[in-house]
Amino acid sequence: MNSPLDITLKRYEVSLKSLDKVDFDIEQVLTVFNARDAVQQALKDEKSIPNSRLQKVIELDEHLRNNAERITRAINGKTADKLQSWRESIQPSAEAWWWKLDAIAPHPWDIWDWLWISLSIAGWTANISLLVNIATRFLVGGVGLLGAAAVTLPSILALLQAGSQFTKSGQEGFDKLLDKKIPKQYHQEAKLVSTLMMSGSLVIFWFALPSISDMYNHNGLKNYDEKNLGTAEQDYLRAISLNADNVDAHYNLGNLYEEWQDLEKAKKEYQLALSGDLPEAYNNLARLYIREKKYPEAASLLKKGLVLAQKENSTPEIKYNLFKNLGWVRLEQGRNEEAQHNLQAATGITKNREAVKYIRNPSAAYCLLAQVLERQKQTALEQWQQCAQLGSTLNPDEDNWLHIAHKKIHNKTK
């Protein structure tokens, strides 16, 4: 008598013959699957299986596998995930591979998988390079809480997604996640899309760096006003690292270095700030040139600064400093009439009560004008009085001028 295994194998073999036809329907496919289920159960129930029977099973299964593509195409038809819906209804055991022929059969889209994989690798290479570039920019001047958050979050997301695509365990987990939402034949495309989404996020972050740079520059100004100069320097350096063309940060850092009397660093920052056509940068660099007795270079910068200040309608404080320093240059060059003209323009600005509130050294123009008037044999007592009244010994430029002013006033009042 034939054993149950022999009977099920015969049924399986007969059902498979229907697949040899040019066309077969879904009912015939179900008959094949049902027959293979019965074979599997018989194999479990059989205590001792002859080698000939095992060979028969292997032979028939090979026949079924060879028709995987045709079966998948016949089942899915216009609905790409129909076989998946069958599995959800039948709930076959994990070893029932015949219910998963769509995983065996190549899909037309699969021929492009090499391209999607190559593009994914290229995308992740670019992503990692961009991420490293962004991260190193935030590390300048110390990490800080904002910098740590800005770097850590995209780094974690990038590493997690990279692990999901380029490590074996990560790929298996990602594939299981995709299986719930996307047919297997579209997995590589989905991975490429996720890579491109990450690329898009990093590119958006990259283009946001100038805005983040401005925020650090603003924090630097706040810390500078609060006399947290070390923290202000870190903020300015990080602002420049995030956006090398942040001329305001270069200018503010130059101011800080000048306050520390690190004049070479200050000059470098002011020179970089010139590219932004900041009149105040022209003024401050010119003032340092005056201290080095480089009068032609200073005059050239100041004249350009005045043109920009007029064009941009700069604040009275900026115009005051430009006129005052140009007058100072002309005084040192012995061009007294030009010096007087510019210094009178500067002192005229200080007579505006609103403007003078924002001028840090209103006395300087009077101190210089007094010297010009005396050279021209004119009375300068009023100017010396204004110099003494408004001046401050904390300003290194004014220290000697104030000494002369007090001496002149003392001599006149004897």
Asked if residue 292 has pLDDT above 60, the reply is yes
Compute the distance between CA of residue 161 and CA of residue 141 in angstroms, rounded to an integer: 30
Residue 99: CA count within 13 A, CB half-sphere: 18
Using alpha carbons, list the distances in angstroms from residue 152 to 135, 147, 199, 335, 394. Answer: 9, 8, 16, 60, 45
pLDDT at 407: 87
Are residues 240 and 213 in contact, defined by beta-carbon separation less than 8 angstroms?
yes
Compute the distance between CA of residue 247 and CA of residue 269 in angstroms, rounded to an integer: 9
DSSP code for 107: P
Quick one: CA torsion of 29, 31, 33, 36, rounded to 10 degrees? -140
The residue-averaged pLDDT of 55-67 equals: 91
The predicted-structure confidence for 96-116, as pLDDT tens digits, reads as follows 998 888 777 666 666 677 787
The predicted-structure confidence for 171-228, as pLDDT tens digits, reads as follows 555 555 555 566 666 667 777 787 888 888 888 888 999 999 999 999 999 999 999 9
Lowest mean pLDDT among 56-65, 128-137, 214-223: 128-137
Lowest mean pLDDT among 31-40, 189-198, 208-217, 273-282: 189-198
Distance of CA 334 to the CA centre of its chain: 53
pLDDT at 145: 56
pLDDT at 185: 60
Average pLDDT for the chain:
84
Residues 6+ apart with CB under 8 A from 284: 251, 254, 255, 258, 266, 270
Compute the distance between CA of residue 63 and CA of residue 56 in angstroms, rounded to an integer: 11
Asked if residue 248 has pLDDT above 90, the reply is yes
Which residue is listed with tokens 């029932």?
A: 96
The residue-averaged pLDDT of 114-139 equals: 80
Burial 81-107 (b: 16+ CB within 10 A, else e): eebbebeeeeebeeeebbbbbbeebeb
Which residue is listed with tokens 């070390």?
A: 230
For the whole model, what pTM was predicted?
A: 0.66
Asked if residue 308 has pLDDT above 70, the reply is yes
The predicted-structure confidence for 312-352, as pLDDT tens digits, reads as follows 889 999 999 999 999 999 999 999 999 999 999 999 999 88
pLDDT at 124: 76
The residue-averaged pLDDT of 150-168 equals: 58
Are residues 183 and 84 in contact, defined by beta-carbon separation less than 8 angstroms?
yes
pLDDT at 15: 92
How far from each other are the two terminal CA atoms of the chain, in whole angstroms? 144
User: How confident is residue 59, by pLDDT bands cut at 50, 70 and 90?
Assistant: very high
pLDDT at 102: 76
Are residues 305 and 283 in contact, defined by beta-carbon separation less than 8 angstroms?
yes
Which range scores top for mean pLDDT: 62-71, 83-92, 132-141, 326-335?
326-335
Are residues 314 and 349 in contact, defined by beta-carbon separation less than 8 angstroms?
no
Query: Can you read off the two tokens belonging to residue 345?
Result: 């323009």
Phi, psi of 154 (to 5 degrees): -65, -30
